[in-house]
Amino acid sequence: MKATFATLGLLAIGVMNGHAALAWTLGDSTVDGRAAPEIWSYYGSNGTTTFVQEGNGPTNPLPGDPNSPATNQLADDDFYFAGDYSNQVDGGAAYAPVGIVASTELGIERAVTNGDTNNRYHFNFAGFHEATDVFTVTFGMLDLNEAGAGTAPGQYDFALSVNGVNLGSFAHTAATIGTPFVSDPFTLADVGGTAGANDDNYVELVASNAGTSAQWANFDYIRMDYTPIPEPSSLGFLALAAVGVTLIRRRRR
């Protein structure tokens, strides 16, 4: 038990010395609702995109089009930040990544429907990330449209994955409008990612609603955050430093 508390103490020091930061966002999680055009941020770069009406299916396979038009019902399921997407890392069925994307896409699908259930967001991990960095993905929904009699209340069950690795499932109902849905935490190794590499990393949200009256639901935002956690050796150093500071303070009294 003492060993357990010691380990938890070291981890706590690491977390306290780590500061959560934004990797990227589509939409503003600090403001209710959406504006047109919508903001995006990608490791400090900023711009705008437009949330356009989804195409109502069918869903398209990977890799999608990094230059689909920002026009209602013409944007595809795949949104790309500017980057180099030359290397497939998801471990699933082989596909041909799109390569260089010179600029962040101007349009993004705004919703899921019964016939168009998938959305993917492609990005590169920045080169400064460490193996111990911990990531999460958060998203929120603006609404939930439901219609029809004799069916269960509207609901979309979202499965969230990164590079094909499942990191959480969420039930969206009228009661969860505006609720932040947060993925399981993960590291680069958990999802096959490499800092600074030309990997085709992507977050995927897949919705299902069998047996409910849900017809569509609009996204408010989706974002990825990370927390740098010191290496174990650094944690030990920080613990010793904390003890040293305490002893110095005691001697000065």
Instruction: Write out pLDDT tens, residues 195-245.
Output: 999 999 999 999 999 889 999 999 999 999 999 998 776 545 444 444 443
Alpha-carbon dihedral sign for residues 146, 147, 151, 153: positive
Binned at pLDDT 50, 70 and 90, residue 16 comes out as very low
* Averaged pLDDT for residues 34-60: 90
Work out the number of other CB atoms within 10 angstroms of the CB of residue 26.
Answer: 27
For the chain, list the domains and their CATH numbers.
1-17+230-253 (no CATH), 20-227 (2.60.120)
Q: Which of 168, 220, 228, 227 is nearest to 25 (CA)?
A: 220
Q: Is residue 12 over pLDDT 50?
A: no
Q: Is residue 99 over pLDDT 80?
A: yes
Question: What does the angle CA 61 – CA 66 – CA 68 come to, to the nearest 5 degrees?
Answer: 90
pLDDT of residue 236: 53
pLDDT above 90 as % of the chain: 72
Question: What does the angle CA 176 – CA 164 – CA 212 come to, to the nearest 5 degrees?
Answer: 35
Alpha-carbon dihedral sign for residues 90, 95, 100, 103: negative
Question: What does the angle CA 206 – CA 207 – CA 212 come to, to the nearest 5 degrees?
Answer: 165
Tens of pLDDT, residue by residue over 134-170, are 999 999 999 999 887 678 899 999 999 999 999 999 9
Helix ranges (DSSP H) in 84-123: none
Strand-pair category, 201-208 with 156-162: antiparallel
Helix ranges (DSSP H) in the chain: 2-16, 232-252
